[in-house]
Amino acid sequence: MRPPLAPLEGRIDRFDVTIGTAVEFLRGTWPELQEVRFEIGALPLSPDPTGIPRWQIDREGRRIILFRIPIERLLPPGHDDAMHRRIAIESAVFRAAAEYVGKDPWEFGPDQG
């Protein structure tokens, strides 16, 4: 018999779980996102003239790629703790999904359909 698996403790594991939870909520709220794949990438492949992108939208491929390193590492000074990282991750998921469907992120609420 194997020993029990260790709990998710790493930053990457927490990032994945936070993304999954936010995506699950959004898919339950907006049918437009049911068939959209949410993927995680480390860094964007190309620079963006407006800064370092946190996500990339691929409408033809029906996918949203969220970039872990910029989302987690480019927090304002004094905000690099677990709570602020989670807020930054969830915010990136909501803003990327809103961009994908052409809505404002504040419209992703149970009473906003």
Report d(CA 65, CA 59) in Å as an integer.
11
CATH code where residue 79 lies:
3.30.2010
Residues of the chain with pLDDT under 70: 1-8, 108-113
Number of domains the chain contains: 1
- Predicted confidence at residue 5, as pLDDT, reads 62
In a domain, 81, yes or no: yes
In a domain, 99, yes or no: yes
In a domain, 94, yes or no: yes
In a domain, 85, yes or no: yes
SS3 30: coil
- Predicted confidence at residue 81, as pLDDT, reads 86
| Neighbour-count burial for 65-100, b at 16+ CB within 10 Å, e otherwise | bbbbebbbeeeeeeeeeeeebbebbbebbbebbbeb
In a domain, 3, yes or no: no
In a domain, 113, yes or no: no
- Tell me the CA distances in angstroms from 91 to 54, 96, 99, one per residue in order: 10, 8, 12
In a domain, 112, yes or no: no
In a domain, 6, yes or no: no
Containing structural domain, residue 101: 11-44+51-107
